[in-house]
Amino acid sequence: MNIKTAPIVKTQLARSVQIRPTMVKRMTPSNDRAKPVHIILNPPQANSTAGDAKAKPPSTGLQFLACPGGGNHAAVCYIHSSWKVLAIRRAKKSDKESIWRVHTSAIREVCRQQYTEEQVEGWSSFLKPNSYEEVIETREFFVAEEDGAIVGFGQLNLEKREVEAVYVSPEKLGCGIGYQLLQTLEQKATAHGLSKLQLSSTLNAVGFYERAGYSRLHDSKHSLPNGMELSCVYMEKAL
């Protein structure tokens, strides 16, 4: 993670509130890898919820801690006057239950805004904790962990050059966690020499990906193992 993370997260929060950077302080010791970069965004001054059903209250602010030379990074998310420590790390097989809970809750609570009850139930019901074991081993699979609890995950298929999943717990929307996960996947793709990524976005996530720099290519259908089809939008981004 590098200093470029700041405007990305600022864009995510700007959906619901006005954020103004108050300080950017870069630490430049001899061992730059071990020291963090501090980017502090102050709490907003106005409460605006236009166009964002999941807008956070006006007490929301962020402080990011980044290791400019390393692959590990953490963020501190300030919500409702309490600091929470967020870390992005590789998923382990032992995370499968928590990943499953995040995935199914996001589908049932967020995706139902764009899909029928039948589609939501058919989509979430075939998912089982054990079904994540293979992709954890074969994909670039990362989780977002807040104070020890998994609150999101991202999945990248390097061979197909495709972001296969970015999901965040419904109660954590608007905190920049999705952007942190997506940027981690993009950095991994760049490190492997990829110049662009594609993805099939659910209808409710199109705006999120557009704000992250992805462009619509065409409408598509995603087929579930139970034969049900979901309307999606195929998108692409040059890295």
| Torsion 135-200-55-4 (CA) sign | positive
Cα 193 to chain centroid distance, Å, stands at 22
Domain positions in the chain are 5-238
CB 59 within 8 A of CB 70: no
Q: Tokens 């293979």, residue?
A: 134
CATH topology of domain 5-238: Aminopeptidase (3.40.630)
> Looking at residue 227, what is its pLDDT?
87
| Torsion 237-207-120-87 (CA) sign | positive
How does pLDDT run along the chain (239 residues), one tens digit per residue? Answer: 433 333 333 333 333 333 333 333 333 333 333 333 333 333 333 333 333 434 343 333 443 333 333 344 444 444 433 456 889 999 999 999 999 999 999 999 999 999 999 999 999 998 999 999 999 999 999 999 999 999 999 999 999 999 999 999 999 999 999 999 999 999 999 999 999 999 999 999 999 999 999 999 999 999 988 889 999 999 999 99
**Alpha helices, DSSP H only, in the chain?**
5-13, 96-109, 117-125, 133-138, 177-191, 206-211
Structure tokens at 155: 């999945």
The rounded distance, in Å, linking the Cα atoms of 21 and 78 is 14
